A and B are shown apart, each in its own frame.
Chain A
Amino acid sequence: AQSVTQLGSHVSVSEGALVLLRCNYSSSVPPYLFWYVQYPNQGLQLLLKYTSAATLVKGINGFEAEFKKSETSFHLTKPSAHMSDAAEYFCAVSDRRAQKLVFGQGTRLTINP
């Protein structure tokens, strides 16, 4: 069965520093992978998704993620953190029947001034 593991339930970085949020997946078929962001007291919105067109995927707000099949990873990065990036981030993989998403546990990102 498909699954994702997000390493680190809480990540804290300084404003202007690199953001790196880790996601590893398990899938028996070529996966579709997603990163969603949840701002406080809001629903989830899509940051970016991997659909096999390109291994480096660019998303909104300066985020990007690289699909690495050999490492079964899809880590999310942003070169320079901004205070507005403080949120919870979820990695997800589509199930084999392409009907459902399986979400990771989430990583809460805190930005220090």
Chain B
Amino acid sequence: NAGVTQTPKFRILKIGQSMTLQCTQDMNHNYMYWYRQDPGMGLKLIYYSVGAGITDKGEVPNGYNVSRSTTEDFPLRLELAAPSQTSVYFCASRLSSGSGADTQYFGPGTRLTVL
């Protein structure tokens, strides 16, 4: 049971390039999340999904896109990279019981630098 896996671990992009951050979970969790972490700012939610085919915006969605075609995978797409997207990106998943008490499980993160 690998939990939540993310690839790549590190990436350097040039301004205007595109890339997809991959996230996979093997726990059959219905909810999945993408966060970005900037120093001193905590974690900000970019997008989340409550199940395959359903996604919704979080607090900071601009410049990103997501899709969820399967339960396991939740890729995050950056279309036109900008220096402001330099950050550490975390994917998380959760098995929803209908309450807010469920634990979110996090991947190891992707460190992205845009130059």
Q: Which residues of A contact B (CB under 8 A)?
A: 9, 31-32, 34, 36, 41-46, 49, 51, 90, 94-95, 98-101, 103-106
Contacts and interface: CB of A to CB of B under 8 A. Distances in A.
15 contacts: A34-B103, A41-B109, A42-B108, A43-B108, A44-B90, A44-B104, A51-B99, A94-B100, A94-B101, A98-B98, A99-B100, A100-B33, A104-B42, A105-B41, A105-B42
Interface of B: 4, 31, 33, 40-45, 48, 50, 58, 90, 92, 96, 98-101, 103-104, 106-109
A5 B14 CA distance: 35
Contact of B40 (A36, A43, A106): A106
A92 B110 CA distance: 22
Contacts of B92: 44
Contact of B43 (A31, A45, A90, A94): A90
Contact of B100 (A9, A32, A43, A44): A32
Contacts of A9: 40
A32 B96 CA distance: 14
A16 B41 CA distance: 29
Contact of A44 (B44, B98, B106): B106
Contacts of B40: 9, 105-106
Contacts of A32: 99-101
B108 to A, nearest CB: 5
Contact of B99 (A34, A43, A44, A98): A98
Contacts of A105: 40-42
